[in-house]
Structure 1
Amino acid sequence: MFAKHTVYKHDNYNMLTVEVQGKTLVVREISDQWGETCHRFISRPEMMDWAEKRFLPEDFPDGEDGLRNALEKLKSI
């Protein structure tokens, strides 16, 4: 059984989840524009580096606060 964490969920079509599969972190990014994209990381620093480069405040309905909350949730996984 894998631990699944929801990082954010704006609606049924825009969300980010992380599954912890042993030492592997599987990030599923679902958007109404691009569908589902899956990313696999072998370390938390690698995942955080990707997230910090991938997301901008304008990607979140509540801007800078939303980005900060998402990054904090990712750090806590």
Structure 2
Amino acid sequence: MFEKHTVYKHDNYNMLTVEVQGKTLVVREISDQWGEETHKFLSRPELMDWAQKRFRAEDFPGGEEELQRVMDTLRSI
């Protein structure tokens, strides 16, 4: 059984989930613009490095505050 975390979900077409599969972290990024993308990470630092490069405050309706919440959620996984 995999542990699944919803990092954010704006609607059925814009969401980010993380599945913990043993030591592997599988990130599913779904957007109405790009469809579904899957990323696999072997460590949490690798996941956080990707997230810091991938997301900007402008990407979120709540701006800087929502970006910080997303990053905090990813750190806690």
Q: TM-score, normalised by structure 2?
A: 0.99
Give SS of 1:47's match: helix
Aligned length: 77
Residue number in structure 1 paired with 2:17: 17
Gaps of 5+ in 2: none
Give SS of 2:61's match: coil
Deviations 1:5-58 (A, max 9, x none): 000001110000000000000000000000000000000000000000000001
State how far apart, in whole Å, the 2-side matches of 1:73 and 1:36 are. Answer: 20
Query: CA RMSD for the aligned pairs?
Result: 0.3
Q: TM-score, normalised by structure 1?
A: 0.99
Gaps of 5+ in 1: none
After TM superposition, the runs of 4+ consecutive aligned structure 1 residues lying more than 6 A away are none
Percent identity of equivalent pairs:
75
State how far apart, in whole Å, the 2-side matches of 1:10 and 1:62 are. Answer: 11
Shift of 1:70: 0.2
Residue number in structure 2 paired with 1:26: 26
